[in-house]
Amino acid sequence: NTSPHIPYIKQCLSLAEKSPPRPTNFRVGAVLLSRKDNDPTFTDDRILSTGYTMELAGNTHAEQCCFANYAAVHKVPDDQVGEVLPVEPGRKLVMYVTMEPCGKRLSGNAPCVQRITRTTEGGREGIHKVYFGVKEPGTFVGESEGCRMLTQAGIEWEHVGGLEKEILTVAFAGHENAEEEVRAALGKKETNVDDV
Ligand SMILES: Nc1nc(=O)c(N)c(NC[C@H](O)[C@H](O)[C@H](O)COP(=O)(O)O)[nH]1
Ligand SMILES: [Zn+2]
């Protein structure tokens, strides 16, 4: 039996496939939802927003677009999205992403971990937990900082295994030596060595 998180990671993967391939980033998909506490089969989940890399104009990330789309619907600027996210007793905000949110970006733009942690400002619960299908490969920033930064901000995170090859194949599609990079990224994780 597969983990109940898999369908959401697959939904993020479908979003990532809409992203225009570029050698300068990864193709990633994100889904933001509200989840009822103690609802193990997620029957009462409410999808709030989705996003994928470069969905919105400019050099935008999936998580960034997910928040921006929600902010637009609620008629606030992107940086005020935390103020319009729902706060409901007995429910938590959860984000699914195909790849670990970035802690640093070569472009110098605000990393997605910062956008996630900002939702918890002003005494708001904000994003409670982030689920992702792969750690960020070292292509651009080396050892990824995302998970450590989320922990530091008191935000839970969890790697949902099983779709690494699919996720990396989509993520690297715009890269020169995509296949090589996928193999390298898979090889790094002992758990996937058998399906390279
Ligand atoms: N989680 C995540 N979602 C995305 O939508 C995306 N594109 C990345 N990619 C992470 C990678 O580290 C950065 O794409 C490079 O560091 C280049 O930085 P820019 O994207 O140009 O700011 N990571
Ligand atoms: Zn990012």
What residues have CB less than 8 Å from 169, skipping those under 6 apart?
Answer: 178, 182
pLDDT tens for residues 21-44? Answer: 999 999 999 999 999 999 999 999
Q: Bridge partners of 91?
A: 36
Ligand 1 atom closest to 52 (CA): 5
pLDDT above 90 covers a percentage of the chain that reads: 93
Distance of alpha carbon 24 from alpha carbon 178, whole angstroms: 12
> What torsion do the CA atoms of 185, 190, 192, 196 make, to the nearest 10 degrees?
60
Does ligand 1 come within 6 angstroms of the Cβ of 28?
Answer: yes
pLDDT of residue 1 exceeding 90, the answer is no
Distance of alpha carbon 56 from alpha carbon 64, whole angstroms: 9
Average pLDDT over residues 108-129: 96
Ligand 1 pocket mutation, candidates 15, 31, 61, criterion most atoms within 8 A of CB = 61
Distance of alpha carbon 160 from alpha carbon 193, whole angstroms: 17
Distance 69 CA to ligand 2 centre (A): 15
What residues have CB less than 8 Å from 147, skipping those under 6 apart?
Answer: 100, 135, 157
- CA–CA distances in Å: residue 42 to residues 3, 6, 34, 80, 124: 11, 12, 10, 28, 23
pLDDT at 120: 96
Name the DSSP class of 145.
Answer: -
Cβ–Cβ < 8 Å for 100, 63: no
Does ligand 1 come within 6 angstroms of the Cβ of 106?
Answer: yes
pTM, full prediction: 0.95
ipTM of the complex: 0.98
pLDDT of residue 170 exceeding 80, the answer is yes
pLDDT tens for residues 152-163? Answer: 999 999 999 999
CA angle 155, 13, 72 (to 5 degrees): 65
Does ligand 1 come within 6 angstroms of the Cβ of 112?
Answer: yes
pLDDT of residue 192 exceeding 50, the answer is no
Question: Which DSSP string corresponds to 80-116?
Answer: GHHHHS---TTEEEEEEEEEPPPS--TT-PPPHHHHH
Chain mean pLDDT for the chain: 94
- Can you tell me which residue has the tokens 């706060």? 87
- pLDDT band of residue 189 (cuts 50, 70, 90) is low
pLDDT tens for residues 124-169? Answer: 999 999 999 999 999 999 999 999 999 999 999 999 999 999 999 9
Question: Atom 5, ligand 1: which residue's CA is nearest?
Answer: 61
